[in-house]
Amino acid sequence: MQGADVARRVAFPGAVDYARPRVRIFPIVVLLALARMAVAAEQTVTPLTPHAEQRVEPVSPSPEQHVEAIDPAKLQQVVPSTPPTTTEKVLDTAGKVTVAVLGFGLAVGTTLAMLLFL
Q: Judge whether residue 13 has pLDDT over 70.
A: no
Pure H helices in the chain: 2-9, 21-40, 72-75, 86-117
Full-model pTM: 0.35
The model's pLDDT over 40-81, given as tens digits with 9 standing for 90+, comes to 566 778 887 777 777 777 777 666 777 778 887 777 788 888
CA–CA separation, 68 vs 74, rounded Å? Answer: 13
| 112 backbone dihedrals φ, ψ, rounded to 5° | -65, -40
Q: Binning pLDDT at 50, 70 and 90, where does residue 99 land?
A: very high
Angle at 114 between CA 113 and CA 115, to 5 degrees: 90
The CB-side HSE value for 69 (13 A sphere, CA atoms) comes to 3
The model's pLDDT over 17-44, given as tens digits with 9 standing for 90+, comes to 555 555 667 778 888 887 777 665 667 7
